[in-house]
Structure 1
Amino acid sequence: MSVTVRPVASKADKKAFVELAYRLNAGDPNWVPPLKDEVRGLITPGKNPWFEHAEAQFFLAERGGKPVGRISAQVDQLVLEHMGAGLGQWGMFEAEDEAIAHALLAAAEDWLRAKGMTRSMGPFSLGIWDEPGLLVEGHDHPPMVMMGHNRAEYQGWIEGAGYRGVKDLYTYDVPSDRPFPPIVERIVASGEKNPRIRIRKVDKSRFAEESALILSILNEAWSDNWGFIPLTDSEIAYAGKKLKPIVLEDMILVAEYDAEEGTGIEPVAFMIGLPDVNEFIRDLKGELFPFGFVKLLWRLKRMRPTGGRVPLMGVVKKLHATRLASQLAFMMIEYIRRAGNGHYGITRAEVGWILDDNAPMLSIANAIEARRNRTYRIYEKALRQ
């Protein structure tokens, strides 16, 4: 029976697009069903401010009238500005078999060509700040909060369609119920004796303001990294609103430093630690109603996860490649470890994602004796006109 691929055009199509992932991944014990309301918000213009600088087309593959695959194709003006002209992207990828996968990729590529794109890169669902990359190592355990999970077969299907890997993103597993190695403890202790350093937790009562501060440091600190796309003001506000319900004040830290006497202390770095809320939503099967919402509220109020994740940290550019930058990073990750384990019972932490060429962060992961547990790969293919 032949496969047809067509654009998502109606509310029923959008519903089928969202719900397909739940059917195709139902047999994977390590797949965590995301909240359907979150997925709908992600792909809806007017709700997700990503659409203020980007456009996307969503496709459904059908066989015998039954949805059997999905994909998005997107053109982001900020990607074109920061990563080069002609670069289109794709994501939200799910497929029953390889033939469906290739038909979906071909449809996305055709749409990108029609938009004048000369390269196709993915997966991004929908941008690099959402769920970037295809999981190629680490299928044997569930992802933590804000990370994706996919079937292992997808790697061969995508590579069979002519895509090559251009960048790997790593996550690292580290026990958080025991101290870091002695050398790290000494670095932290030295920083604690320095009166010019102050590490403070965020003030949740001013969370919008704190989010703007943190993400402004992120935009400046990460601007030279591969794949960097700046977050807009509306995206910063959107991210802050989404994160506020799961924020634990003592696991999101800002480092301040008095560089010269008389100039005043200023924020120079941040680190975000999040509880692994995937543990709280896994059994909800994507549904908040009628009872899932009450369950989730109770679990968030009680907040006793076994896992936590450090998804982001940044140090202002003027401190890059300095001993102070490393010291601040070690201090913040140690304070987050103490809070996560001591206050909330977190025994396992995940650090990342980290770009495969980010030597300073890879060195920090090695210093705290973290173990690489997952690899996500971003692929690219030239589009023939």
Structure 2
Amino acid sequence: MTVPVTIRPISTKADRKRFVDLAWDIYRDDPYWVPPLKSEVHALLDPGQNPWFGHARLQLFLAERGGEVVGRISAHVDELMLDSMPDTGLWGLFEAKDDATAAALIAAAEDWLRGEGMKHAIGPVSLSIWDEPGLLIDGFEEPPMAMMGHHRPAYEGWVEQAGYAKAKDLFTFALDIRIDMIPVIDRLIKAGEKNDKIVVRDVDKSKFDQEAAIILEILNDAWSDNWGFVPLTDAEVAYAGKKLKPIIVDDLCKILEYEGRPVAFMLTIPDINEMIADLDGRLFPFGWAKLLWRLRKPSTRRVRVPLMGVRKEFQSTRLASTFAFLLIEYTRRVCVDKYGINHGEFGWVLEDNQGMMSIANLPGSGINHTYRIYQKTL
């Protein structure tokens, strides 16, 4: 007789450990999975550390069969997201060993969301739209870069069997950054370089808090019309800055000023996954020393552009393209000439964000990962 799966809500520290540790069981034979730092995952789930809980509520669920943990899922409601998506809850952090477990987990998350008054569900989003949104549906045979998710190919079918349909696709673009810009873009860059009103500068890490506030203020303005947008609170800005500071390299992160005012930025980070891949998620007893040493002078094969933004007032003008390509070109030169980095990744990019899609389609670039966010009426 088949042992049935049991789904239960969890709250204890011991259960949260089981929740986090399941990923190591699920992906132990996947050569492309990069174990995250367990301390980071636990911090994500801790209301005492993650300021996201200041405007959101969460329930975690474990699936068990015969005493073995065989799946997990989170269900959550973000009050700030309700402003743009009324009556819509989320689920995420989804992992399952089989289709029956997947169905039971998704059903449990949906029941919890209904109990919270939600009429629609989207997922997976883990936990915020700013963390790891979407399910990987294409690009499995390449390790994910920093702050990107990796999933089992079977999950796509299991989610769709639960009645979910595509809401949005998110893309990342891989590019060979040794390739020069095409003439039309090169002319745009040269025109921008001659414009005395435009200054592109490096982030000053000695003033990191102020610089982070500038970047994230531009980001909140630039992305405010995007699907699923949730503004970052002051507490989240400070929290994000604290997490990002160790992997920020001054001359890989650029702020563009127009007429003396910051109006655009591009954040480029070394692929931290290359630095942590061999730590198996553990900083102790020796992992912390290895990571601190590697962070002293980050040297990775790849870099990623997770965030870029131009203030809304410029987005419908020719200057927007000038700003974007200046930021890209100046960073490209530093990567190739100073650090010997030849490969980059840009994204994620929403499929219907035509401005960013056109910018991401640089010479030598192509989509290397597709992530899908699903939706369902409850």
TM-score for both structures, normalised by structure 2? 0.98
* 1:200 aligned residue: 201
- 2:349 and 2:362 mapped to 1: Cα distance? 15
- The reply to whether residue 338 of structure 1 matches residue 333 of structure 2 is yes
Residue correspondence of structure 1 range 1-385 to structure 2 within 5 A = 1-83=3-85, 85-258=86-259, 265-383=260-378
Letter matched to residue 181 of structure 2: F
Letter in 1 for 2:168: K
The residue type paired with residue 70 of structure 1 is R
Displacement of 1:176: 1.5
CA RMSD of aligned residues (A): 0.9
Structure 2 residue runs without a partner (length 5+)? none
Deviation at 1:302? Answer: 2.8
CA contact (8 A) 1:184 1:368 kept: no
* 3-state secondary structure, aligned to 2:230: coil
Structure 1 runs not aligned, ≥5 long: 259-264
1:223, 1:272 → 2: CA distance? 18
Query: Equivalents in 2 of 1:168, 1:88: separation in Å?
Result: 18
Q: Deviations over 1:271-309 (max 9, x none)?
A: 111110100001111000111111111111131100001
- Which residue type is aligned with residue 71 of structure 2? G
- C-alpha separation in 1, matches of 2:339 and 2:272: 13
Q: Could you tell me which amino acid in structure 1 is paired with residue 32 of structure 2?
A: N
User: 2: distance between equivalents of 1:343 and 1:369?
Assistant: 20
Aligned-pair CA distance for 1:341: 2.2
CA distance in 2, matches of 1:190, 1:369: 23
Deviation at 1:343, TM superposition (A): 2.2
Give the secondary-structure state (helix, strand or coil) at the position aligned to 1:311: strand
Tell me the alpha carbon deviations over residues 229-287 of structure 1, each in whole angstroms, 9 at most, x when there is no partner.
000000000000000000001111111112xxxxxx21111111111010000111100
Q: Is the 8 A contact 1:145 1:278 kept in 2?
A: yes
Asked whether the 8 Å contact 1:184–1:367 carries over to 2, the reply is no
Q: Which residue of 2 aligns with 1:262?
A: none
What is the rounded CA distance, in whole Å, between the counterparts of 2:284 and 2:341 in structure 1?
28
Deviation at 1:312, TM superposition (A): 1.0
Provide the C-alpha distance between the structure 2 equivalents of 1:183 and 1:350, rounded to a whole number of angstroms: 22
Percent of matched pairs sharing the same residue: 57
